[in-house]
Structure 1
Amino acid sequence: MNKYWWFLLLAGAFEVVWVAGLKHSSAWWQWLITFACILFSFKVLLDAAARLPLGTVYSVFTGVGTAGTVITEIVMFGEPVDPLKLLFIATLAAGIIGLKLVTETAAPDSKEGNV
């Protein structure tokens, strides 16, 4: 797995942090951390989008964010566990893995999308 896929997973992980921050922040410093995570998440997302197909990038980013947020809510904040919820998270994970397996990375010297 190349570094752009790692960037994409990192962006998704930070998405989970800032989404949780939007719901659970109450102090100014918590809001500051949430805002910093938003900025970092989108910066890393844009770096990944420079080398990977945009549709794949967006799908994986939102899939990782969605699955991670649901799991975080269950583990850290006491959200009820529903077997169907876990099945759908597994389906998301299968889709993310499938996209990884069928997606090629752009060559380092190509600048797709530049006019």
Structure 2
Amino acid sequence: MNLHWMLVIVAGIIEILWATGLKHASNLITWLGIAVLIYISFVVLLKALEKVPVATAYAVFTGIGTAGTVLVETVIFGESFSWSKLLFIGLLLAGVIGLKLVTADPDKKEEAI
């Protein structure tokens, strides 16, 4: 896995933080923190898009954010658990992993040319 894919993953992890924070923000400081996290996540994602296809990177970014937010809310904040949630998170992650596997590595494309 190259640096740019790692940046997509980091951006997705930061998305989990700010998405979870949206529900739990209660004052100006927390809202400012969320705004900073949103900014950072998109700056990191934009850096990743220099070498990663936009559609695939955005799908991976939002998939990590969605699955991670559901898991954090369930494990840390006590949201209700259901097997159907787990099934759909698994399907989402399978799609994200599938997209990553079928997307050609841009560095290898450049070497072939």
CA distance in 2: counterparts of 1:2 and 1:10, whole angstroms: 13
The one-letter code matched in structure 1 to 2:14 is: F
Rounded to whole Å, the distance in 1 between the matches of 2:32 and 2:76 is 21
TM-score of the two chains, using structure 2 as the length reference: 0.89
Partners of 1:17 and 1:37 within 8 A in 2:
yes
Q: In the alignment, which residue of structure 2 is the partner of 1:96?
A: 96
Bigger drift between 93-102 and 37-46 goes to 93-102
Contact 1:22–1:34 (Cα < 8 Å) also in 2: yes
1:34-89 deviation digits (Å, cap 9, x = unpaired): 11110000001111111111110111111111001100110111110010000010
What is the match of residue 3 of structure 1? 3
Q: Aligned partners of 1:84 and 1:56: how far apart in 2?
A: 25
SS of the residue 2:81 aligns to = coil
Give the drift of 1:106.
Answer: 2.3
Preserved contact between residue 15 and residue 37 of structure 1 (Cα < 8 Å): yes
What is the CA-CA distance between 1:20 and the residue it aligns to?
A: 1.1
Name the aligned partner's letter for residue 31 of structure 1: W
**For residue 27 of structure 1, what is the aligned residue in structure 2?**
27
Q: Give the aligned partner of residue 46 of structure 2.
A: 46
Secondary structure of 1:77's aligned partner: coil
Q: Where do 5+ consecutive residues of structure 1 fail to align?
A: 111-115
Q: Is the Cα–Cα contact under 8 Å of residues 52 and 104 in structure 1 kept in the other structure?
A: no
RMSD between aligned alpha carbons? 1.5
- Offset at 1:30? 1.4
Equivalent-residue separation in structure 2 for 1:3 and 1:19 (angstroms): 24
The TM-score, its normalising length taken from structure 1, stands at: 0.88
4+ long deviations beyond 2 Å? 105-108
What is the CA-CA distance between 1:105 and the residue it aligns to? Answer: 2.8
More helix by share: 2
Structure 2 segments unaligned to the other structure (5+ residues): none
The percent of aligned pairs where both chains have the same amino acid is 50
